[in-house]
Structure 1
Amino acid sequence: MLSAATLPVVVALCRRLDGLPLAIELAAAQIDRMDPAALLEHLDRHLSTLGAGPSNRPERQQTLRGALEWSYALLDGEQQRDFAALSVFQGGCTAEAAAAVAELTGHPSRPAGTPPEQEDWLENATRRLDLLVRKSLLALDVQEDGERRYRMLETIRAYATTMLTSRHAADTVHRRHAAYYAGLAERAATGLESPDQVRWVERLERDYPNLRSAVSWALDATDVAGARQICLGLWRYWRRGSHLAEGRDWLDRVLAMGDRMTATERARLLYPAAVLAATQDDHETATRLGWQGLRLAESADDLPAVAQARNVLGAAALAAGRYDDAAEHFRQSLAICRKTGETRGTTIAMGNLAKLSLRIGAIDQAGEYIEQCLALERAAGNSGGILLGLECQGDILLAQGRLAEARRVLAESLSLGRDLGDLFGEAMALHQLGSVAAAEDDRPEALGHYRAAIRLRYEVEDREGLAVSLECVAGLIVDGEPELAVRLLAAADVLRERHRLPVPPEQQPRRDSVGRRARIRLGDLTFTAAGQAGRAAPLELVLDQLHDLPDR
């Protein structure tokens, strides 16, 4: 209790700690053990013993480190080990994760990376964590869903990391950390195709700093099995647009250690690497990785991996406009999945055949495939698969002129994409809703949806989608803004040429029509100049001009 008698001592304490809030909080956490006068005497003795420290260290930094060392010295041996081990977490952790990685359960013989299954283990871990919270060495955050997460302030974590490296078994702790998060990633692989997808996406978002740290450590330690396990668990999460480039880099690094994997293990890893490459319209890489995976899978007589490789090769062929090749790959994939009873693979193959049918104008056939695909996805509760099916169904309804039904389907698709944090899915739904509004002659709504889609597609590097959106906006504005329309078409051409993306057959007549209308309004010289300007301008500048365009 602060009183007239203790106030001068408290003021002296604050001055001794240079007024640093964190240092004061660390000292105050000891008040249950010492009164203010004893606390000041004990602290003053400790700081004086430290000396001036390195001459190049600022005085305030010396004071803070002194407070941290003093707080650490007051911990018993078990608490010091806990404090140091918890520094391995980045972005915080649950009590369960801390129990497994820092061995807070009192059962060090329990296998690393497995969550505690007895309540007393978790209660013991929580008690030890809460003790460090009371000493202000940990912070406790309660999430909206009630999950309790413990974290260190970065200043404290930096000191704890030093203690872990110098006084404790740092390598052992990092190995347990990597094992725990490899197990989490493995469970996420199933969770991301289950009715609990939204919850799993949220969990991965919270623990992504730990997952990044775990895979980085595994790669540096040449723990190929652990790094592979994390990548196989996370690729569906990356495909949604979150950390996509980083995911591709990790997959490349693991694949570079191919001599440490069996043919089947490498084939199973080549599939997500090819899928992510195709997601970023890197279809040459997707095709190369797909063929590598197919050869390995066939040599190992691994039919599920053969079906996966055929699927991704078909997707790359579809994007490149090689429709006969795409059809052959998708049909072979479907046949294998039906033979082996792979329901998930069957669903994927039918969804891809629906996209192919839509691309070549076989609308009725596309509708049949997508109805079967959606029925299977809804039965499985796979929200991500439902999202992809709704996208295709929305395109089919648009092609049939059933605009009210398309709007209903696409509203569900947009909501689902946002719930899942799927940026590609959200962008597609926005683009399609723009096309519905354009078909209804509602320019302001159409332009708003297209702009939002373009922002997202630019952000996630969806080059093919971005080119299509730019072309659709050009068609929307050509009568009022013919020069900008031509620049948008030219920017789309540059994207397609640079990334070898063909114009979809259904898009070509619309492009040709926009070009003809713009030429009539501008004349040949101005039309040509506008096209040259669009090709020469940085894409960012063209997008800025688009977003400056009035709605009407």
Structure 2
Amino acid sequence: MHPPDDTERAHFLQALQKQKNELATLRITGSPTQVGQGLVSLAELHGMLEDHAASRQCYEEALAMFQEAGYKPGQAQACFGLGVVKANFEDHRGAVELIAQAARLFNETKDRDGEALSRACIGESLRALGQPEAAEEKYQEALILYRQTRNTERTARLLLDIGDIRMEKAEYEPARKRFLEALPLLEKGDDAEALALGHLLLGESEGLLGDHEGARTHLLRAVELYQELHDHVYEARARWDLGLSCYYSQDLPAARSQLEAVLPLYEEQGRADEVAKVRNILAHFAARGA
């Protein structure tokens, strides 16, 4: 999740103060379960403001309240939140332990979406720990649950994650199949960032499999989407890949055009090595009269 901009931050701070006021009343009039839910809401707002220490404190108090009340859905929420906080502090082993506890509680309370999200988050932490096979196993478990609940947005995101793991293992054809499966789901949704990533990853897999014409179609769409999102880091990646596909397709003018477009993006990001590489390639093109 991107850091909040000034407008979002002001909105979250206003919501935070409102929630604190409501929680103060709940502590007097509410049951432990109600107080716990108020604390979870407060923890989530602290998380959106990236105040993870305050978020952890609220989740810990909420968990104690839910345990006192014997309220398992709340315990699941609090354990999940605490696991996410651990992940934000880069304690992925601690995150796996807590979120696995949340997954068990979500399973016991028949909350399949909560269980699926937990399993997917465990996968993310396992991946961060350098365990891609174990991560993919958790992603697959989450995928089954999301398909049962017909959550197409989460299904598509997981397909991209699974495909990306396969790309890292140089298993390009299995990766391509996952991206192809995800793309129609993404086209039906309204997550432009995920759609852009889907086109980018599919384009990269097509290129690595030697289908440079097919790659160009998807990479060009990725460039367009990242331009709309003002994401210059991923736009640069997509343009670089597109330039390579144009080059391998023997369309040197198109390749040069993409490299000329990526150069200021690399310069803006201070990526000196990439800037030098692109300048050398453009000089080579100029020497050939391309």
TM-score range, shorter chain: 0.5 to 0.7
Identity among equivalent positions (%) equals: 14
Per the normalisation by structure 1, the TM-score is 0.38
1:46-88 per-residue CA deviation (whole Å, 9 max, x = no partner) reads xxxxxxxxxxxxxxxxxxxxxxxxxxxxxxxxxxxxxxxxxxx
Aligned partners of 1:492 and 1:307: how far apart in 2? Answer: 38
Cα gap change, 1:426 to 1:471, in 2 (>3 Å): closer
* Equivalence for 2:252: none
Q: What residue identity is the alignment partner of 1:310?
A: L
Secondary structure class of the residue paired with 2:139: helix
Cα gap change, 1:456 to 1:295, in 2 (>3 Å): farther
* Equivalence for 1:221: none
C-alpha deviation, 1:438, in angstroms: 3.5
Aligned partners of 2:156 and 2:92: how far apart in 1? Answer: 22
Asked if structure 2 preserves the Cα contact closer than 8 Å seen for 1:430 and 1:453, the reply is no
Cα gap change, 1:373 to 1:420, in 2 (>3 Å): same
Residues 212-291 of structure 1 correspond to what in structure 2 (within 5 A)?
250-257=11-18, 258-261=20-23, 262=26, 263-270=35-42, 272-273=44-45, 277=48, 285=50, 287-288=52-53, 290-291=55-56
Aligned partners of 1:337 and 1:474: how far apart in 2? Answer: 40
1:457 maps to which of 222, 229, 236: 229
Cα gap change, 1:380 to 1:431, in 2 (>3 Å): same
Aligned partners of 2:97 and 2:233: how far apart in 1? Answer: 29
Q: What residue identity is the alignment partner of 2:50?
A: T
Cα gap change, 1:428 to 1:315, in 2 (>3 Å): farther
Cα gap change, 1:417 to 1:447, in 2 (>3 Å): closer
Q: What residue identity is the alignment partner of 1:253?
A: Q
Residues 379-458 of structure 1 correspond to what in structure 2 (within 5 A)?
379-441=148-210, 442=212, 444-458=216-230
Cα gap change, 1:248 to 1:520, in 2 (>3 Å): closer
Q: What residue identity is the alignment partner of 1:518?
A: K
Aligned partners of 1:409 and 1:290: how far apart in 2? Answer: 35
Per the normalisation by structure 2, the TM-score is 0.66
1:489 maps to which of 266, 274, 286: 266
Asked if structure 2 preserves the Cα contact closer than 8 Å seen for 1:447 and 1:473, the reply is yes
Cα gap change, 1:447 to 1:380, in 2 (>3 Å): closer
Aligned partners of 1:405 and 1:338: how far apart in 2? Answer: 31
Cα gap change, 1:435 to 1:249, in 2 (>3 Å): farther
* Equivalence for 2:29: none
Secondary structure class of the residue paired with 1:285: coil
1:494-549 per-residue CA deviation (whole Å, 9 max, x = no partner) reads xxxxxxxxxxxxxxxxx89x6397078279xx9xxxxxxxxxxxxxxxxxxxxxxx
* Equivalence for 1:333: 99
What CA RMSD, in Å, does the superposition of the two structures yield over aligned residues?
3.9
Q: Which stretches in structure 2 are left out of the alignment for 5+ residues?
A: 27-34, 67-73, 248-255, 284-289
Aligned partners of 2:170 and 2:131: how far apart in 1? Answer: 15
Aligned partners of 1:378 and 1:251: how far apart in 2? Answer: 33
Aligned partners of 2:59 and 2:39: how far apart in 1? Answer: 7
Which is helix-richer, 1 or 2? 2
* Equivalence for 1:303: 75
Aligned partners of 2:156 and 2:183: how far apart in 1? Answer: 8
1:518 maps to which of 272, 277, 289: 277
C-alpha deviation, 1:274, in angstroms: 5.7
State how many pairs are aligned.
Answer: 247
Asked if structure 1 preserves the Cα contact closer than 8 Å seen for 2:36 and 2:65, the reply is yes
Asked if structure 1 preserves the Cα contact closer than 8 Å seen for 2:263 and 2:275, the reply is no
C-alpha deviation, 1:451, in angstroms: 0.5
Cα gap change, 1:289 to 1:439, in 2 (>3 Å): farther
Aligned partners of 2:228 and 2:43: how far apart in 1? Answer: 25
Higher-Rg structure is: 1
